[in-house]
């Protein structure tokens, strides 16, 4: 037996470094014990592994695995380290395994990661700060203290979100496992706490209301969804309920202002704000598409990209990989971009709708066009992305993207080939979606349309220099 001792229950780097070495040595999962601190955990109750076949040569770990591992490592399931190592070990011989949602191991880790993301979202939504006088600090000794009981090891992973949103406040978040403290400049960590350590109740209700107002998300106004999303333990006397109608009216404006402020707070480096947005979108339930989809597929690319491309919605492969434009349409897009001399790595690429809409036919998931309601529900995210990235030029790939960006139906044939103005004043262009090119049955027409598409890309590339 080999024992790896990780420093903390959320020690992703420690796990990754150890796993790398063990894979290089070809150590099979059933020879491993993973523990945190000094406490051995109960391992391998359900993990059965066939005899290993050594695989020579370099092993490149799929990005989808790393994304899964980063979330799953924060889970409370004591077997998570072993399960992840087992999956990594199998991936060497079965590189496509990560895409196999029917595989019990992949399914179990997906479930853990999903629960973690949900817990992260709940902490952001339901955490309540209370104001206390603690005598320290430059702002007259006011500190905001919150007590929270997460189900998973998410507190450190969530810290950047609270730093970003409450950068100018001094605050502490106390949890049973760890406490984190922000003094306006630096984040520090302390031991776990108990509920009795946190200030209680009524005199500070106004503070909580203020906090709630600042994080308000109208999605939560759907009472059915609220009850489903909010376990009873968070429902103790919620003073904010009375605030809902007024907040709903002003919510979009507030959220927009908050993102703009976050951008200022981080001095032009909007990466933290973008990460917070992406993490929040991971728990999006603004329309029913999240239910059958594997995950939210958020945009990707540099946060200061001068060029933004907006597609329709993730396809089957994007849904599994968690990344936009990686399937057939993405490959067509990459090819055309290269021919047009536009560097995709300088562009931010996203979709109007962030979840895959499909119809299940046997084993196949067939693309289904998003409706106006779904496009409108998802505009929430694209507007935040636009405000953070502030691209010089935005390109709508197809009618759904155009409908989302302009808030109304746009005719591609009429609007194509000229600079348009978005409602926020930004420059936008409309062209066809790469999937359209893939669907054209006549080779001569397909070649002609492809050449037009490349030309459109060349023109927009020229707009950013």
Binding site for ligand URA (CB under 6 A): 311-315, 318, 324-325, 327, 329-330, 351, 435
CB of 396 to ligand URA, least distance (A): 11
Closer residue to ligand URA, CB minimum distance, 214 or 317: 317
d(CA 275, CA 279): 6
The edge-to-edge listing of strands for the beta sheet with 2-6 is 2-6, 32-36, 39-40
For 310, the enclosing helix (H) or strand (E) is strand 307-311
* Contact between 296 and 290 (Cβ < 8 Å): yes
Which element (helix H / strand E) includes 463?
helix 443-464
Looking at residue 64, the DSSP 8-state letter turns out to be: H
Minimum gap (Å) between residue 342 Cβ and ligand URA: 17
Q: Which three-class secondary structure string do you get for 411-425?
A: CHHHHCCCCEECCCC
Minimum distance from residue 331 beta carbon to ligand URA (Å): 10
Region for 188 from its dihedrals, namely left if φ exceeds 0, alpha if ψ lies in -120 to 50, beta otherwise:
beta
In the bound complex, what is the minimum distance in angstroms from residue 320's beta carbon to ligand URA? 12
126 vs 358 by CB, closer to ligand URA: 358
Residue 313 or 404 having the CB closest to ligand URA: 313
Q: How far is CA 161 from each of CA 185, 187, 244, 272, 280, rounded to the nearest angstrom? A: 15, 12, 23, 8, 9
Q: φ and ψ at 361, to 5 degrees?
A: -125, 105
| Residue with smaller CB distance to ligand URA, 175 or 435 | 435
Overall size of the chain counted in residues = 465
Judged by beta carbon, residue 179 or residue 435, the one nearer ligand URA is: 435
For ligand URA, the closer CB: 204 or 351: 351
Residue closer to ligand URA (CB basis): 91 or 402: 402
**In the complex with ligand URA, which residue's Cβ is closer, 10 or 374?**
374
> Which tokens go with 199?
């200030």
CB of 75 to ligand URA, least distance (A): 28
Provide the sign of the torsion angle of the four alpha carbons 6, 61, 338, 429, taken in this order. negative
* Residue 311 Cβ vs ligand URA, minimum distance, rounded to whole Å: 3
| Torsion of the alpha carbons at 214, 215, 216 and 217, rounded to the nearest 10 | 150
The dihedral through the CA atoms of 51, 1, 39, 147 has a sign that is negative
Indicate the residue among 9 and 299 with the shorter CB distance to ligand URA.
Answer: 299
Cβ 351 to ligand URA, closest distance in Å?
Answer: 5
Minimum Å gap between C-beta 117 and ligand URA is 20
- CB closer to ligand URA out of 330 and 391: 330
Closer of 75 and 314 to ligand URA (Cβ): 314
Is the CB of residue 89 less than 8 Å from the CB of residue 69? no
Q: List, as one string, the DSSP characters of 157-212.
A: HHHHHHHHHTTTS-EEEE-SSEEEEE-SS-EEEEE---GGGS--SGGGHHHHHHHH
Cα 85 from Cα 30, distance rounded (Å): 10
Q: To the nearest whole angstrom, how small is the minimum distance from the Cβ of residue 332 to ligand URA?
A: 9
Q: At what angle do helices 104-126 and 63-72 cross, to 10 degrees?
A: 60
User: In the bound complex, what is the minimum distance in angstroms from residue 324's beta carbon to ligand URA?
Assistant: 4
Three-state SS at 391: coil
Least spacing, CB of residue 457 vs ligand URA, in Å = 15
Q: Which is nearer to ligand URA, 128 or 323 (CB)?
A: 323
Tracing tokens 């939210």 back to the chain, one arrives at 296
What is the smallest separation between the CB atom of 433 and ligand URA, expressed in angstroms? 6
Residue closest to ligand URA, measured at CB: 311
- Tell me the three state secondary structure of residue 300: strand
**What is the spatial distance between Cα 349 and Cα 325, in angstroms, rounded to a whole number?**
8
């Amino acid at each position: 037996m080999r024992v790896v001792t990780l420093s903390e229950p959320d020690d992703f780097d420690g796990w990754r470094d150890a796993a790398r070495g063990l894979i290089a040595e070809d150590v099979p999962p059933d020879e491993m014990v993973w523990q945190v601190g000094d406490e051995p955990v109960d391992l391998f109750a359900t993990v059965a592994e066939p005899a290993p076949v050594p695989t020579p040569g370099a092993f490149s770990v799929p990005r989808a695995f790393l994304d899964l591992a980063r979330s799953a490592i924060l889970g409370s399931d004591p077997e998570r380290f072993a399960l992840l190592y087992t999956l990594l070990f199998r991936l060497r011989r079965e590189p496509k395994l990560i895409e196999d949602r029917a595989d019990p191991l992949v399914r179990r880790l997906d479930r853990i990661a999903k629960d973690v993301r949900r817990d992260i979202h709940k902490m952001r939504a339901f955490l309540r700060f209370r104001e206390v006088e603690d005598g320290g600090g430059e702002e007259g000794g006011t500190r905001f203290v919150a007590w929270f009981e997460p189900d998973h090891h998410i507190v450190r992973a969530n810290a950047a979100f609270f730093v970003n949103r409450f950068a100018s406040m001094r605050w502490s978040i106390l949890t049973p496992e760890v406490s984190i403290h922000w003094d306006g400049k630096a984040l520090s960590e302390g031991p776990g706490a108990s509920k009795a350590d946190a200030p209680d109740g009524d005199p500070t209700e106004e503070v909580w209301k203020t906090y709630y107002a600042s994080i308000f998300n109208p999605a939560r106004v759907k009472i059915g969804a609220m009850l489903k999303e909010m376990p009873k333990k968070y429902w103790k006397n919620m003073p904010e309920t009375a605030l809902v109608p007024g907040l709903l009216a002003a919510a979009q404006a507030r959220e927009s202002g908050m993102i703009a402020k976050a951008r200022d707070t981080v001095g032009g480096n909007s990466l933290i704000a973008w990460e917070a947005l992406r993490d929040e979108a991971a728990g999006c339930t603004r329309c029913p598409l999240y239910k059958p989809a594997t995950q939210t597929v958020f945009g990707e690319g540099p946060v200061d990209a001068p060029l933004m491309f907006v597609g329709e919605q993730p396809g089957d492969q994007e849904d599994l990989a968690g990344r936009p434009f990686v399937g057939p349409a993405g490959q067509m897009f990459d090819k055309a971009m290269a021919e047009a001399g536009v560097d995709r790595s300088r562009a931010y690429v996203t979709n109007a709708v962030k979840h895959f809409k499909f119809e299940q036919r046997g084993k196949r998931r067939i693309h289904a066009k998003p409706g106006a309601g779904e496009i409108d529900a998802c505009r929430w995210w694209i507007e935040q992305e636009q405000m953070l990235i502030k691209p010089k030029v935005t390109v709508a790939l197809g009618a759904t993207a155009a409908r989302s960006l302009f808030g109304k139906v746009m005719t591609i044939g009429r609007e194509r080939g000229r600079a348009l103005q978005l409602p926020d004043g930004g420059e936008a262009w409309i062209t066809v979606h790469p999937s359209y090119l893939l669907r054209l049955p006549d080779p001569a027409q397909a070649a002609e349309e492809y050449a037009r598409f490349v030309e459109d890309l060349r023109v927009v590339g020229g707009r950013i220099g």
